[in-house]
Structures are given as C-alpha cells and as structure tokens.
A = this chain, B = another copy of it.
C-alpha cells in the first residue's frame, strides 16, 4: 500500500470513514474499543493524513504567515523565535516568507509572496516591512488580519496593528550618549526607507543632534554590507574631514562600515567612534567591543504573535455568531517596546574606569508623537 488513505483504514477495520475520522482526532461518539482498533490499524499501515484534504474541508485556518526581508540579518532570528514560541502554544504553524531575492528587497517578490500566503489561506500575517498599498488592500479584501512588526503600517491604513521598538526614543538615547561624549559631527549610515524604522531612527537622531548642537549627515545605501562599505567609502573620499562618530543603522550597515574603516586604517574610537543598532552574539569580541542598542526582538515577536492571535480568535468568534468577518483592530493593538543602550567601548567609553564620558541630563522623550 503505497499511500494509504482513511478508506484503507476503513477497509481494514470494517468501520466507516466517519468513525475513523472521529477516532483519529480524538473526538467522541466512538467507543473505546473501536478507537483502539482504528489507532492500531492506522499505525500498522503507516497512515498519515493528507494535509491538503484536511485544509480544504476544515473551516478553521491554523497557520499564519511571516513576511521578512533578508532573513540573513541575524536580528530576525530572535524575532522569529519569539513568534514561533507564542504560535506553537496555539498549535498553529508559521509560514516564513522572505521577500528578498538574493539579499535585496524586490517589489514583485512582495506581490508574489502575499499571493502565496493567501493561496495557503493563512489566518493572519505578520510583516517585518511596510507592505505596499495594493498588498495591504488585497489582504484586507480577504479579511486576513495583519500585524506589522518592527515596521509601521502603510500611510493609507494607519489603524493597522504594529509592535515596534520605540525607535524615536531609542535614537534619542543613542544621540544623548553621543552628545555626552561631546561629538559634534555625526554620520548616520542608513538602509532604505522601505524599512520604516529607518525614518524613525533618523528623526530621533536629528532631534538629538539639534539639541546637542551637532551636525547630522545621512548616507544611504542598499541593505547589505558590501553596499554599505561602498557608500561609506564614497562619502569619506569626498568629505573634508572624518566625522566624530558613525552611527550604523543596522547590522549589515555596521559590518560594511567596520570593514571599510579597517581597510582605511581608521582606528575606533580614536579616529572615529562607532555605535550600532542591533545587539548580536559576537559584539563583545570585536575590537573594540561595540556599543549597541539592544532591541528586545524576542519580546517584540511574542507580542506581535499574541496580538495577531487575539484578533484572529475574535474574528472567528464573530464569524461564528454570523457577524462581519472583517478583522477588528483596536488602538491598543499598537505597541511600542523599549530598548536600552549597551555601552561598551566603540563609542569612546574606555574599559571600566578610564572614560572620557561626561553624563548629560537625559533628553526628555517626546510623548504621543
């Protein structure tokens, strides 16, 4: 028997397919005796249900999609972990879909990916990037709830849920620390703005620079280390002076920057200080140890999954009552999670004891922006 079906079990046990189905998934209406026979037979012939047939027939959907751009950014691994852990407790599964084609974001790939998730009839979507207007509308047409994670909802649909680091506050914190060092020329090496965090980070840095009377230059490159290195090179080649500090927008940017600074023979933090945005495993082993912002990505992932689950369950309940099957979003579905700066030495702080850092009054965080 190459690919046994429920009917094969039926044949073997002499029970109807109904009974088999009930017995297999532990529903009642089946005697203990029959259930045992069914399970034995199933195990015996190596039966494994056909997911496609189940999905087709069942009404309740039990998977959610996660849209990601360049997973290779190790920051996302924690995020995924957080999502998985929450979703697994509901016995759902996560479909991870990367919209980057060899490392670069690709708009058509975004379209294909959203389509694929709808084809799979996912119950909901978590997206790490702001989706296009068309895709947001498509998902909403299919009544599929979306939660943005570490990215903001598109401008056309600002009411959509999101869970993010408080990037503005975080950037103010970074900026405050740099101000404390007395740095006056800041260079922000940034990734493109399809990742909406870029905008918030820049905004926070700009405000911090202003209140510290420092100058901020923004250099943008594609979201990978090689491009970042090249962008930095072009900038430094033409700049009149090396900036006091380089702020890397994320880890690929940081990697590219460090490689280029090493190549150029600039010493950190003597010639130029460096700070970055994502804590990662090796940061303390790099020379000098890196001062980084620690985003609590695992926690963010969990929160996002919880929010999505809540919306889906409410939606199912409403549908069961015969009400609208549109997902219902609430204002408290928009969450911000704090982040803290991990101060090591690349910012100019010395090993414990000998630092050239003057604490400054904390810049008040802007409320309700």
Partner of A281, one of B3, B48, B143, B255: B255
Q: Does A96 contact B (CB under 8 A)?
A: yes
CB distance from A163 to the nearest CB of B (A): 21
Are B2 and A143 closer than 8 Å at their CB atoms? yes
For A13, the chain B residues whose CB sits under 8 A away are none
Are A51 and B282 closer than 8 Å at their CB atoms? no
Known: A138-B46, A258-B285, A282-B286. A51 touches B2 (CB 8 A): no
For A51, the chain B residues whose CB sits under 8 A away are 52, 119-121
Q: How many residues of A contact B (CB 8 A)?
A: 42
Please, which residue of chain B has its CB at the minimum distance from the CB of A118?
B48
For A120, the chain B residues whose CB sits under 8 A away are 51-52
Please, which residue of chain B has its CB at the minimum distance from the CB of A225?
B281
CB distance from A83 to the nearest CB of B (A): 13
A2 to B121, CA, bound (A): 13
Q: Does A366 contact B (CB under 8 A)?
A: no
Partner of A141, one of B46, B72, B281, B286: B46
CB distance from A160 to the nearest CB of B (A): 19
For A142, the chain B residues whose CB sits under 8 A away are 2-3, 46, 48
Known: A52-B56, A72-B77, A119-B49. A325 touches B286 (CB 8 A): no
Known: A71-B77, A77-B71, A96-B96. A119 touches B50 (CB 8 A): yes
Please, which residue of chain B has its CB at the minimum distance from the CB of A283?
B282
For A77, the chain B residues whose CB sits under 8 A away are 71-72
For A310, the chain B residues whose CB sits under 8 A away are none
Please, which residue of chain B has its CB at the minimum distance from the CB of A71?
B77
Partner of A285, one of B49, B53, B102, B286: B286
Residues 213-231 of A contacting B (Cβ, < 8 Å): 225
For A138, the chain B residues whose CB sits under 8 A away are 46
Q: Does A271 contact B (CB under 8 A)?
A: no
Task: Mark A130-153 against chain B: 1 for CB-CB distance below 8 A, else 0.
Answer: 000000001001110000000000
CB distance from A295 to the nearest CB of B (A): 16
Q: Does A74 contact B (CB under 8 A)?
A: yes
A258 to B77, CA, bound (A): 22
Q: Does A284 contact B (CB under 8 A)?
A: yes
CB distance from A226 to the nearest CB of B (A): 11
Q: Does A55 contact B (CB under 8 A)?
A: yes
Residues 305-332 of A contacting B (Cβ, < 8 Å): 325
Q: Does A259 contact B (CB under 8 A)?
A: yes
For A259, the chain B residues whose CB sits under 8 A away are 284-285
For A121, the chain B residues whose CB sits under 8 A away are 50-52
For A50, the chain B residues whose CB sits under 8 A away are 56, 119, 121
Partner of A262, one of B102, B118, B285: B285
Could you jot down 14 A-B contacts, CB within 8 Å?
A3-B142, A3-B143, A46-B138, A49-B119, A50-B121, A51-B52, A52-B121, A85-B102, A255-B281, A258-B285, A259-B285, A262-B285, A282-B282, A285-B286
